[in-house]
Each structure stands twice: as C-alpha cells, then as structure tokens.
Amino acid sequence: MHAVRTLRQRLPVLSPAEAIEYVSALVDGDAPARLVAVATKALVQPLNPVLAVKTN
C-alpha cells in the first residue's frame, strides 16, 4: 500500500483503483500500456537534445 500512496502523491491524475492496478501489474511484471503512458508522461523528464550532443 505504501507504493500505491507514493504513486498517488506523484500522479494525482490516477484514481485509487488505477494506482492499485498499476502497482499490482508492476509486481506481476505486466503493467497496462495506458497506465505506463500516463506515468511516463508525468514522471520522466524530456531529454534536452542539446545536452545529448557529443563533441570531440
């Protein structure tokens, strides 16, 4: 339940049922694509293309 609470604090857009579904699916190893997309969009910072450039 701690994981569900933490997820809901970071992703308030998820309903309690969705948070439980997401955490349970992660434990089983097969999270639903729609919930992964929501979590990724909210939690993963976009890559700055300028910082990705490598120069020699």
Is residue 34 in some structural domain?
yes
- CA 13 to mean position of chain CA atoms: 11
3-state helix, strand, coil in the chain (%, to 5): 65, 0, 35
**Do residues 25 and 18 lie in contact, with contact meaning Cβ atoms separated by under 8 Å?**
no
Is residue 52 in some structural domain?
no
Is residue 54 in some structural domain?
no
Question: Domain tally for the chain?
Answer: 1
Residue 26 has pLDDT above 80, yes or no: yes
Provide the percentage of residues in the chain whose pLDDT is more than 70.
100
Q: How confident is the model over 6-10, as a mean pLDDT?
A: 93
Q: Measured between alpha carbons, how far is 4 from 19 in angstroms, rounded to an integer?
A: 6
Taking all residues of the chain, what is their mean pLDDT, rounded to a whole number?
89
Residue 2 has pLDDT above 80, yes or no: yes
Give the domain extent around 39: 2-44
Please name the residues in contact with 44: beta carbons below 8 A apart, sequence gap of 6 or more. none
